[in-house]
């Protein structure tokens, strides 16, 4: 529920412009006391607490007849663009009535900056990366997402995408995006290929010897790995599932102990834009090639 603010109700922020544009630099929680007038809307929010014959219920949304001053009540501050400026918990400090006019003194305890800071930095102030999050549980080890990059890994990852549950569930978090890399380089010649002359029913060219039926042939032009259907595992881009990242962010042991409630109008299993979105990661600069 929304409360009524008057012109004289100021909510001051001590954040700098850098803090607002980069909330991860805000380490300490924001707090401030404000005064709210007893308008019909505000009285409704606080459940007419000033009435001596008020009946309190427990549970529900923590507003109206469910309002309990002994409990923490969540709040969110929006600007005129409906952007969240701060969120956290509020506490009713006191309620006064003067000549029939009701006022509520409320303390706001924000935690948005602290939440982002806990995600971005560890307890020693060291910057965290996606690899520092725990994805499979609070007891997950540092190598929970480790794998050997080879053809089998890529094949199993793509099998998992196709619905094969017999392979590791790791591939629900990490997978590979097929990448076009042009003509192969390094140890490969784009115009050379091994041809099994026995299977093809071709004679061995004069002056050449076949090895178990295979000979090295020069092709009429260069071919890409896609044209010859010979994808290299280490050239496919690793990617991470965004819903797995968001799930990890919502886990209290990753975010400093906060409880995160997502808006299920978007964050739900029926929304393909949420469940099927992957973020591609850079191809490792140096890998132990295992083909």
Q: Do residues 215 and 154 both lie within one domain?
A: no
Mean pLDDT of 110-121: 75
Q: pLDDT per residue over 178-209, tens digit each?
A: 988 888 777 778 898 888 888 888 888 787 88
Number of folded domains that form the chain: 3
- Mean pLDDT computed over every residue of the chain: 80
Could you list the residue range(s) of the whole structural domain that residue 40 is in?
17-120
Q: Do residues 144 and 255 both lie within one domain?
A: yes
- Percent pLDDT > 70 in the chain is 79
Q: Among the listed ranges 38-42, 92-96, 107-111, which one has the minimum average pLDDT value? A: 107-111
- Percent pLDDT > 90 in the chain is 23
Asked if the structure places residue 8 within a domain, the reply is no
Asked if the structure places residue 188 within a domain, the reply is yes
Q: Do residues 44 and 154 both lie within one domain?
A: no
For residue 43, report the phi and psi dihedrals to the nearest 5 degrees.
-60, -35
Q: Which of 120, 150, 166 is the last residue of a domain?
A: 120
Q: Do residues 238 and 225 both lie within one domain?
A: no
Q: Do residues 195 and 171 both lie within one domain?
A: no
Report the DSSP pairing between strands 237-241 and 192-196: unpaired
Asked if the structure places residue 291 within a domain, the reply is no
pLDDT category of residue 271 using cuts at 50, 70 and 90: very high
Do residues 30 and 15 make contact, with C-beta atoms less than 8 angstroms apart? yes
How many CB atoms are located within 10 Å of the residue 2 CB?
A: 9
For residues 88-122, one letter each, b for 16 or more C-beta atoms within 10 angstroms of the residue's C-beta and e for the rest, the string is bbbbbeebeeeeeebebebebebbbbbbbbbbbbe
Highest mean pLDDT out of 45-54, 89-98, 260-269: 260-269
Q: pLDDT per residue over 78-108, tens digit each?
A: 878 888 777 777 778 888 888 878 888 888 7
* Pairwise CA distance, residues 71 & 89, whole Å: 10
pLDDT category of residue 4 using cuts at 50, 70 and 90: confident
* Pairwise CA distance, residues 136 & 154, whole Å: 21
* Per-residue model confidence (pLDDT) at position 291: 37
Q: Do residues 256 and 142 both lie within one domain?
A: yes
* Per-residue model confidence (pLDDT) at position 289: 44
Give CA separation, 218 vs 38, 142, 191, 200, 213, in Å: 87, 47, 6, 16, 16
Is 165 a residue whose pLDDT tops 60? yes
Number of H helices, E strands in the chain: 8, 9
* Per-residue model confidence (pLDDT) at position 20: 46
Is 56 a residue whose pLDDT tops 60? no
Asked if the structure places residue 53 within a domain, the reply is yes
């Amino acid at each position: 529920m929304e409360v009524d603010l008057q012109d004289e109700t100021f909510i001051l922020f001590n954040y700098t412009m850098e803090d607002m544009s980069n909330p991860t630099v805000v380490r300490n929680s924001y707090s401030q006391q404000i005064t709210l007038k007893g308008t019909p809307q505000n009285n409704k929010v606080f459940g007419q607490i000033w009435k001596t014959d008020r009946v309190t219920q427990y549970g529900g949304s923590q507003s109206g007849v469910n309002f309990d001053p002994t409990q923490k009540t969540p709040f969110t501050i929006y600007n005129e663009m409906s952007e969240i400026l701060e969120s956290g918990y509020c506490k009713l400090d006191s309620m006064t009535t003067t000549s029939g006019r009701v006022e509520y003194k409320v303390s706001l305890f924000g935690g948005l900056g602290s939440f982002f800071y806990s995600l971005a930095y560890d307890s020693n102030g060291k910057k965290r990366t996606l690899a520092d999050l725990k994805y499979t549980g609070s007891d997950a080890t540092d190598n929970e997402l480790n794998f050997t990059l080879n053809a089998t890994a890529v094949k199993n990852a793509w099998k998992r995408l196709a619905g094969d549950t017999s392979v590791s569930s790791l591939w629900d978090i990490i997978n590979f995006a097929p990448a076009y890399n042009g003509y192969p380089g390094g140890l490969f010649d784009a115009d050379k290929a091994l041809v099994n002359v026995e299977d093809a029913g071709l004679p061995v060219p004069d002056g050449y010897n076949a090895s178990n039926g295979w000979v090295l042939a020069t092709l009429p032009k260069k071919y890409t790995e896609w044209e010859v259907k010979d994808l290299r595992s280490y050239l496919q881009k690793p990617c991470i599932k965004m819903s797995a990242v968001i799930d990890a962010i919502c886990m209290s042991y990753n975010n400093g102990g906060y409880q995160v409630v997502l808006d299920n109008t978007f964050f739900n299993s029926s929304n393909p834009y949420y469940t099927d979105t992957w973020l591609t990661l850079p191809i490792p600069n140096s890998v132990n090639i295992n083909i």
